[in-house]
A and B are shown apart, each in its own frame.
Chain A
Amino acid sequence: MSVWEASFTGLMSVLAWPTFGFLLIGVVVGLIFGAIPGIGGITAFIILFPLLLNLGTDAALSLIIGLFAVTTTSDTVSSVLLGVPGTAGSQATILDGHAMAKKGESARALGAAYTASAIGGVFGALVLAVGLQILRPLVLLLQSPEFFALGLWGITMVSVLSGNTPLRGISMAIIGMMVATIGIEMTIGIERYTFDQMYLLEGIPPGLVALGLFGIPELMSLAIGRTSISRTATSPDLFRSQLQGVKDVLKNWTLVLRCSALGVLVGFIPGLGSSVVDWLAYGHALQTSPNREAFGKGDVRGVIAPESANNAKDGGSLIPTIAFGIPGSLSMVLLLSVLVSLGITPGRDMMTIHLALTFTIIWSLVLANLFGTGICLAATNLLARIVFLPYSWVLAAIIPIVFLAAFSWNSNVGDLYTLMAFSVLGYFMKLWEWPRPPFILGFVLGPLLENRFFITLNLYGWSWLYRPYFLIILAMILATLLYPMFEERRQRLKTARNRS
């Protein structure tokens, strides 16, 4: 079967009834679970898993792809409107999205976020379609030294996310990495900082850390301000505002494409995932934008960048899952379990005898992103009004949801203690202007860096320092660090020339 024939067969399979209906069910369930803080697609998957096994192959795959594809679209709702991260992939959206909501531009932020998500999602699916054959050798070339270098590249974003307080930013990243060492050490199995508490053995979940660091302090900020989330009293024309958001995305199309490509790359690399991709994209937008002063104060580019990247990531993470059976994240592990349960072995077969099925997955991803965005855009007018509600109504409803969402993580009282501990930390960081984004980035990347470093050292000694691919990534890191300085100098010279 040729690629075109397989693509057409795949599209027809998705559009056939009842597969199409299950895709829509997946999209709707994914949107609902993505919008509720702290829950996300994994929980929805666990609920639907028994149903999946009783469906046909196409229907089951459409349902699960529909579910996972859109959780990072609707998670924007709580991030923008409430300042509470919907899922791990929407943490960075809070910085500018919530600031826009405070300025009465919630509909614009949501419009931009959904459009960027749709473009990112479709971009990811296209790369998946084209890249399955091309990128196969690349995955085999990357070994632990390169993964370690990619982790280092991620951590360099701390310097960007620290604003003009690098000392505070790097310190917070270090504290984040230290907190991530809590639990059983992976190489020899020693307990670190567990203080004989069973709860701490598996470490602290990143989602819970984000909920404490961002969720509660933002709600407290609302309680302190005693106004509605939006500081503008009157409701603007929400439809026009939303349309402005869509236009913003089209105006910043290069940023959308760059961040989508970044999203695919991060998704493609096993182990990085949602918690990292949004910060990397945000850092990239900050680094490459000419006027950075507006970031963190409600700049739409700070919404567009993470949202396009976190949806594009799904396409990237499907490449190693489908092509080699290497799942890069928990959601991909679950997808793999569905494939295996349905009697399909990922790998070479997916590009030969099951090629049509691979295209069913790709088309499901494209259509789910488009439908998800359509539904979200239609609901924006209603959702954006939340920011004009009295603060007391919002707090009385959301504080209990945040506590219960935190508790549902492990269904352990320890989750609530953890939430309170990180809320206290987040409150003081926010109060005394210690940046929270580097903490999260350090927390997520710390374990990855440590594990990859030891694996690399055990396998290669110190010879890994001369590996060509490692050196290429190292050059990329240097370019990332030096580019803003070069750009700043170029701008300064340009301004000086214009003056003279």
Chain B
Amino acid sequence: MKLPLLFPATLVSVLLFMGWQAQAWNFSARLFPMTLVGVGVLLLSFHIARELWRSFFSTQPQSGGQSMDIGMGEGEDPSVVRWRSMEIWAWLVGFFIAILSIGMLISIPLFSFLYLKFHAREAWWISILIPVLVTSFMYGLFELILHTAWIEGWLWELLWTE
């Protein structure tokens, strides 16, 4: 199966799962989801079948069509897009895990600093200035004004409990 077809195939699987879950509910609760599942599975299956038919039998070049949205990595080499996507995903997932494990107050300046210094290879002064400014702004707004309860991180909770 071609990689872009994995997306509609996954959506069909998710819809089928949701439809299966809805079986247990009473009529009024399941009517709307079941109708959507029916129509959604039908449309997506038709899309998959059409794309497969095109890739095997049609000699005309395939076109994804022009959707009303901004594209990703337009004008870039697909292999570059793939590599850079993986890189930024790694940063995002790393930041997410850092927030959960060591808390927000440490993760925010740490992420900003590491991204600027080791990914973008910026000068020391900018790699320190931006994290300090961002953290001060966010601490001032979210902690002092909005009183948001920051995530402290399971690592500290574990250590303090010990």
Contacts and interface: CB of A to CB of B under 8 A. Distances in A.
Interface of A: 36, 43, 47, 83, 94-95, 98-99, 160-165, 167-171, 174-175, 177-178, 181, 185, 187-188, 190, 192-193, 216-218, 220-221, 223-226, 286, 295-296, 390-393, 395-397, 399-401, 403-404, 407-408, 411, 413, 416, 420, 423, 427-437, 446, 449-450, 453-454
Interface size class of B (residues with CB under 8 A): 35 or more
A192 B43 contact: no
A177 B34 CA distance: 11
Contact of A404 (B93, B119, B138): B138
Contacts of B84: 223-224, 226
Contacts of A36: 141
A357 to B, nearest CB: 30
Nearest to B10: A428
B70 A218 contact: yes
Contact of B108 (A94, A162, A221, A400): A400
Contacts of A171: 8, 11, 40, 43-44, 47
Given A165-B64, A171-B11, A177-B36, A404 B70 contact: no
Contact of B115 (A396, A430, A435, A454): A396
A432 B68 contact: no
Given A190-B25, A224-B76, A433 B65 contact: yes
Nearest to B130: A396
A62 B102 CA distance: 44
B11 A165 contact: no
B82 to A, nearest CB: 9
A395 B8 contact: no
Given A187-B28, A393-B126, A432 B70 contact: no
Given A178-B37, A190-B29, A450-B32, 8 more contacts: A160-B68, A167-B46, A185-B28, A221-B70, A429-B69, A430-B71, A432-B4, A433-B67
Interface string B66-93: 1111111100100011001101110111
B134 interface: yes
Contacts of A223: 84, 87-88, 91
A435 B138 CA distance: 33
A178 B33 contact: yes
B70 to A, nearest CB: 6
Contact of A407 (B32, B39, B148): B148
A192 B146 contact: no
A178 B36 contact: yes
B108 A404 contact: yes
B157 interface: no
B8 A397 contact: no
B40 A174 contact: yes
A47 B32 CA distance: 39
Interface in B20-46: 21-22, 25-26, 28-29, 32-33, 36-37, 39-40, 43-44, 46
A171 B15 CA distance: 11
A123 B19 CA distance: 46
B68 to A, nearest CB: 4
A396 B39 contact: no
B27 to A, nearest CB: 10
Contacts of A216: 92
B7 A434 contact: yes
A296 B8 contact: no
A167 B120 CA distance: 40
Contacts of A401: 134, 138
A278 B145 CA distance: 30
A177 B28 CA distance: 16
B158 to A, nearest CB: 16
A313 to B, nearest CB: 22
B156 interface: no
Max chain A Cβ within 10 angstroms of own Cβ: one of B15, B21, B65: B65
B47 A427 contact: no
Given A165-B66, A433-B64, A437-B68, A174 B73 contact: no
Nearest to A295: B68
A319 B121 CA distance: 55
**A-B pairs with the 8 shortest C-beta distances?**
A392-B120, A165-B65, A163-B68, A435-B67, A223-B88, A174-B40, A396-B112, A400-B108
A397 B112 contact: yes
Contacts of B28: 185, 187-188, 454
A400 B96 CA distance: 10
Contacts of A446: 32
A390 B120 contact: yes
B98 to A, nearest CB: 10
B67 A188 contact: no
Given A164-B65, A454-B28, A400 B134 contact: yes
